[in-house]
Structure 1
Amino acid sequence: MRAEMNPAQEQRTEEHVMKRLMSYLSHFKKSLILAFSLLIIATAADVLGPIVMKVFIDNYLTPRYFPLQPLILLAAGFIGLYAISATFNYFQVLLFQKIALNVIQKMRVEVFSKVQHLGLSFFDQTPGGSLVSRITNDTETIKDLYVSVLSAFVSSGIMMAGIFAGMFFLDVRLALICLILMPFLLTLMWVYGRLSSKIYRVTRVKLSQLNAKLNESLQGMAMIQAMRQQKRLRREFGKINDEHKTAMLRSVSLNSLMLRSAVYSVYLIGLIMILSFFGVQSIGGVVQLGVLYAFVNYLDRFFDPVNQVMQQLTTYQQAMVSAERVFGLLDDKRMAPVQQGDESPVISEGRVEFRNVTFSYDGKTDILKDISFTANPGETVALVGHTGSGKSSIINLLMRFYPVEHGAIYIDGEPLKNYSDAELRNRIGLVLQDSFMFVGDVTDNIRLSHDVSDEEVKAAAQFVQADRFIEKLPNKYHERIGERGATFSSGQRQLLSFARTMTLNPKVLVLDEATASVDTETEEAIQAALARMRKGRTTIAIAHRLSTIQDADQILVLHRGQIVERGTHQSLLKEKGLYFKMYQLQHGKTGENETIAR
């Protein structure tokens, strides 16, 4: 949760957020003008209704004078005003809601687009559930601001102004007496706004934490059940849920006190003032019952919009907190690295060079230290080392998921930062250990959104020997794939990701333990495919199983972010250093002696 702000800071923040929210309405000026015009007409019809009734009571009912034609006209006028109010209110509400939905649609697209361009450093530090909460729950709350709050505030303000205009038209003295209530009401609204904003800020944070915990539980359900962590997760979820309930109960208590009791008390004071005025007036003269009726009716109608505004203040405070969170996301500076400079170099050979690269995720601890190596076209460079040695960080920098701050990376002699995203993604093929599948069919997951024909999709699948299992599927290349490809084996998903990569015909292959999730038979098929894929291409491969990279042209052994050994498989075994120990652990001494003998 963010640090506490003083009242002046909160006021400035709220004003800034409101101005920004209002800026979205500038795209719908014509619709807004029409909606406001309809609202004013509907309000005017509402305000005129009690005046018509006042005329009927004072001019006809009290003196018991009932001429047919004037009464018919009055009745028609009263019904006409009601019909105008109902009709115009319907269309103004419809217009306001249409504007609100268009605004929120635009905002959601902006938020989603922003998320697509945020750097991985943002996702490293932001829980997925919290992010989903901002994009869905928070934007939905902002929608309520446009749909309910703004129209309620505007219509209530116009209605109250119209009611006071009617009061002054009937009796200036009594209208001035009623005007005394306004400072009390404004103070009540201000106090409620101050108290509710703090409560709803806590509520939104706790809801975000609930979503984050729920997302974590759903993503890791297999591990939770396997490790019997259900009780722990229920306990943690229950704790956050209790904190959310406590905040909501505080909100209910505040609403019960401020929205019901306090407002009704002010209403009773106003009613007593009106009745007292007419009581005093009746002592010395005749009381106009029509005026009394109109004033009591106006007072009742006046507190309807007051109650509406007070009730909408709840939604308003929620929306302001949500808007602040959404705008915080839109303003986040942790963007994915992009091309620098106006040149557009092309990757033609795929020569990769790291020069004295040092990297830190948090700006404090160096994960990579002075990394330098060259991978020439057609060569395979393997990265090996214990967990946390920096292998994946090298891949992340080469893919430009994170910016290079110390040192430089070159491809074909050009700095990595000079290439466009399109060039990098089309010329560098990435295959991860955990292959991600999208909802769709087999062809969609191989093609993605690239301009690739069905024949090229099948050729890529045949190239990596994925066609062997695809042809056995009931619908073959049109077989449906569910969320994350759960109905496919890990080996099948890996083969599909290989085919996906080969459709781009990349110059550089990046393999992050690409055979770790496949069985021996599938691995042999992939290794055969990789042998063909590597021809004429630069290949950089992370490997935990050293048997898979024995034929690499260069093996880099990393330890605590540094390259401590480099060479071929045979030369590194002869050195009997870290690589030798790793190989010995995986294959035993007999395997090592046999390998050296060869």
Structure 2
Amino acid sequence: MSDTLKETQAPRRKTPRASLGSSEGDDIFGTFDVGVARRFLAFLTPHKRAMATAQIAVLIYAACQVAIPAMVGQAVNAAVARDGARLDRTLMIFSAVAVAYAIFFFTAEWLSSRLAQRVIFDVRRAMFAHFQDVSLSFMDKTHVGRIMSRLQGDVNALQEFLESMNGALGDFVMLVGIAAVLLITDLKLGLLTLTVLPALIAIRAVWLPYSKKSFRVARDASSTANSALAENINGIRTVQESRREALNFELYKEKAFENFKAQNGASWMTQIMVPTVDVLTGFAMAVVVVVGGEAVLGGHLAVGVMVTFILYVNRFFEPVRMLSMQYTIMQRAMAAGHRIFEVLDVAVTISDKPDAIPLKDVAATVEFRNVTFGYDPKRPILHDISLTVRPKEVVALVGPTGSGKTSIIALTHRFYEVDQGQVLVGGHDVRDVTLDSLGKTIGMVLQEPFLFTGTIEDNIRYNTAASLERIVEAAKSVSAHDFIMRLPEGYDTPLGQRGRNLSMGQRQLISFARALVADPQILILDEATANIDSFTEQAIQKALKVLFAGRTCMVIAHRLATIRDADRIVVLQQGRILEQGDHDELMANGGLYSHLYTSAHASFDDQVVAVTGDAEFATRT
């Protein structure tokens, strides 16, 4: 991780946050959170020079805007007095100010936009990097739609604020400058003109509570709609298989309509201030025309001053209107920042200890010492498990669904922390070794392999620096080379999402080739043949023999025939080891494994009730 990225992630607040699934974190509209602002400055710090330059440009163009009406008034007075020389000087200065305004306005807008893009790039990068490190326990209980809402919607709201931030500074400078010039030019008329400000403040005080509620509801509705959309897209295969499209559409239409109403209400609350400001502008203009007109007719006020006041009044409420809108943007950005920092504050529970050591030149062993573990600490999945896998030994884990097989391999790779006991790899507690070295020592092939967007070559190489020759060699070893070469572009064939343009068996063979290229000392297979047809399984079995050669292997399988040749078979039930030994020993024991194997090589789930007589357990699992 780069130093810049580390800077943008710090400092982190120590206060607890609401979970990503709650709406408590959204109820902050209208509140300026100093803590959020301070943390946000950490993202701006690397770009302080660009920000300062943009703000200087804003101040200059705002000063030009304040000066232009005064010069117009001077030009009118010069024209009325028939003072040609004075009029020419005024027009020359006016032209120079107008050119300066155009140049510095463009410069400020360009710098502000570029600054916003750079900061948002840092924010997205920090969030993405953090999500790479958060534990699976967090990902298991957090809806992907809510995560995407943070990564997209909230970041976009922050970008909108950044792009308008310098504009708000310019509007504020204009507002103060115009008020000062009005009072200096004519104190009485200036005070009369500014009498509309108390009314504007009172209106905003009434508007603010309603806007807070409206914006909060809009944000919650948007998050809910996004979650429903993401869930439907992720499960589109199941939706189409069960022909549930119509029902899903009705369910989503309801959420989308609620989002529409909420966004419409928020938009109405945003826009209501525009006509309000217009009415106040008209009232202030009427004051200038009536009072100023009488003063001009009475000879107490110059015509140029009258024109200057009219122009200033017309300009005065434009920054008021813009500041009202930018305040709304700031409210949204504050909520977005709060939610973004919720993401960055998610605890990284699985991380390297300060004195973690790399795994190298160690025996490829896996040992569980009195391990108790549960995804919910109150409901353990594993109970006091003790198990040793020796170097180059193939150990098969079998048992009914819910018996703890997948939990054992997850703990071996330290995806989760044990509640009690120890998990050791190479003789070292997995909590005492670096995650990088653990990941290189242990390779995994899952039941449904995940292939990424890219070519077949990219997916086999994955996170190694393997040459094409090494990739082809690995593909040949696992019987994947022939079908790859039959594809239109061979190893350069681009894969669709998750490799959907390949069959399940072909995807599994590519995942085997990937594991072979990575060359781990310990290999874990989690139901690698569960979704494979019998014909393809023959190729898979040949590939497995290549993968197993010279490696310590842990294999999970429901099909008992697929693990008959394992050095040792461990039978699990309800989170405990029921029996273990090789195939012949377990058959001789006449236990659960023997009963299931003699039942036409059934799986544990097929006949667990018949063997154990535990119908309630079968229902639970």
Aligned to 2:579: 565
Secondary structure at 1:517 match in 2: coil
User: 2:124, 2:282 → 1: CA distance?
Assistant: 45
User: 2:570, 2:320 → 1: CA distance?
Assistant: 73
Deviation at 1:496, TM superposition (A): 0.7
CA RMSD across the alignment: 2.5
Change (3 A) 1:520 1:260: same
Aligned to 1:160: 175
Q: 2:144 aligns with which of 107, 114, 128?
A: 128
User: 1:5, 1:222 → 2: CA distance?
Assistant: 34
Equivalent residues, number: 584
User: 2:354, 2:198 → 1: CA distance?
Assistant: 58
Report Cα offsets for 1:496-521 as digits up to 9, x if no partner. Answer: 10110011221111000111222323
Report Cα offsets for 1:510-551 as digits up to 9, x if no partner. Answer: 000111222323322322332343233211010010001112
Amino acid in the other structure paired with 2:556: I
Secondary structure at 1:587 match in 2: coil
Matching of residue 443 in structure 1 with residue 457 in structure 2: yes
Deviation at 1:279, TM superposition (A): 5.7
User: 1:214, 1:51 → 2: CA distance?
Assistant: 55
Deviation at 1:295, TM superposition (A): 1.3
User: 1:405, 1:588 → 2: CA distance?
Assistant: 34
Q: Percent of counterpart pairs with the same letter?
A: 34
Q: 1:102 aligns with which of 118, 136, 147?
A: 118
User: 1:406, 1:394 → 2: CA distance?
Assistant: 13
Amino acid in the other structure paired with 1:541: V
User: 1:252, 1:453 → 2: CA distance?
Assistant: 56
Matching of residue 244 in structure 1 with residue 290 in structure 2: no
Change (3 A) 1:270 1:19: farther
Gaps of 5+ in 1: 593-598
Comparing 491-500 with 205-214, which one deviates more in the overlay? 205-214
Report Cα offsets for 1:290-312 as digits up to 9, x if no partner. Answer: 22221121111010011111122
Deviation at 1:483, TM superposition (A): 1.8
Q: 2:493 aligns with which of 464, 479, 482?
A: 479
Alignment of 1:342-421 (within 5 A): 342-346=356-360, 348-421=362-435
Change (3 A) 1:225 1:342: closer
Amino acid in the other structure paired with 1:83: V
Q: 1:70 aligns with which of 81, 86, 89?
A: 86
Alignment of 1:52-451 (within 5 A): 52-61=71-80, 65-148=81-164, 150-257=165-272, 259-278=273-292, 281=295, 285-339=299-353, 341-346=355-360, 348-451=362-465
Matching of residue 2 in structure 1 with residue 19 in structure 2: no
User: 1:253, 1:92 → 2: CA distance?
Assistant: 30
Change (3 A) 1:22 1:511: same
Secondary structure at 2:33 match in 1: helix
Q: 1:46 aligns with which of 65, 80, 89?
A: 65
Change (3 A) 1:542 1:6: closer
Deviation at 1:282, TM superposition (A): 6.0
Secondary structure at 1:346 match in 2: coil
Deviation at 1:179, TM superposition (A): 4.1
Comparing 9-18 with 567-576, which one deviates more in the overlay? 9-18
Amino acid in the other structure paired with 2:68: G
User: 1:86, 1:205 → 2: CA distance?
Assistant: 41
Q: Is the 8 A contact 2:293 2:306 kept in 1?
A: no
User: 1:6, 1:97 → 2: CA distance?
Assistant: 27
Report Cα offsets for 1:432-482 as digits up to 9, x if no partner. Answer: 010111122121111113121122112211221212222322322222222
User: 1:447, 1:60 → 2: CA distance?
Assistant: 79
Secondary structure at 2:601 match in 1: helix
Q: Is the 8 A contact 1:193 1:313 kept in 2?
A: no
User: 2:598, 2:319 → 1: CA distance?
Assistant: 81
Aligned to 1:17: 36
Deviation at 1:147, TM superposition (A): 0.4
User: 1:87, 1:318 → 2: CA distance?
Assistant: 31
Deviation at 1:280, TM superposition (A): 6.2
Secondary structure at 1:2 match in 2: coil
Q: 1:523 aligns with which of 537, 554, 559?
A: 537
Comparing 335-344 with 275-284, which one deviates more in the overlay? 275-284
Secondary structure at 1:43 match in 2: helix
Aligned to 1:596: none
Comparing 492-501 with 354-363, which one deviates more in the overlay? 354-363
Gaps of 5+ in 2: 1-20, 608-621
Aligned to 1:511: 525
Change (3 A) 1:229 1:163: same
Amino acid in the other structure paired with 1:74: T
Q: Is the 8 A contact 2:296 2:302 kept in 1?
A: no
Secondary structure at 2:321 match in 1: helix
Q: Is the 8 A contact 1:204 1:321 kept in 2?
A: no
Deviation at 1:113, TM superposition (A): 0.6
Report Cα offsets for 1:335-387 as digits up to 9, x if no partner. Answer: 43435624334253211100111112122211111111111012111111111
Q: Is the 8 A contact 1:339 1:421 kept in 2?
A: no
TM-score by length of 2: 0.88
Change (3 A) 1:194 1:99: farther
Q: Is the 8 A contact 2:478 2:546 kept in 1?
A: no
Aligned to 2:507: 493
User: 1:278, 1:305 → 2: CA distance?
Assistant: 23
Q: Is the 8 A contact 1:340 1:418 kept in 2?
A: no
User: 2:306, 2:293 → 1: CA distance?
Assistant: 10
Q: 1:541 aligns with which of 548, 555, 567?
A: 555
Q: Is the 8 A contact 1:347 1:411 kept in 2?
A: no
User: 2:226, 2:242 → 1: CA distance?
Assistant: 22
Q: Is the 8 A contact 1:357 1:406 kept in 2?
A: yes
Change (3 A) 1:194 1:25: farther
User: 2:493, 2:264 → 1: CA distance?
Assistant: 50
Change (3 A) 1:585 1:274: farther
TM-score by length of 1: 0.91
Q: Is the 8 A contact 1:345 1:418 kept in 2?
A: no
User: 2:602, 2:37 → 1: CA distance?
Assistant: 68
User: 2:391, 2:517 → 1: CA distance?
Assistant: 19
User: 2:298, 2:206 → 1: CA distance?
Assistant: 42
User: 1:164, 1:382 → 2: CA distance?
Assistant: 81
Deviation at 1:49, TM superposition (A): 1.5
Amino acid in the other structure paired with 2:22: R
Q: Is the 8 A contact 1:100 1:146 kept in 2?
A: yes
Change (3 A) 1:293 1:562: same
Change (3 A) 1:143 1:586: farther
Amino acid in the other structure paired with 1:207: S
User: 1:92, 1:253 → 2: CA distance?
Assistant: 30
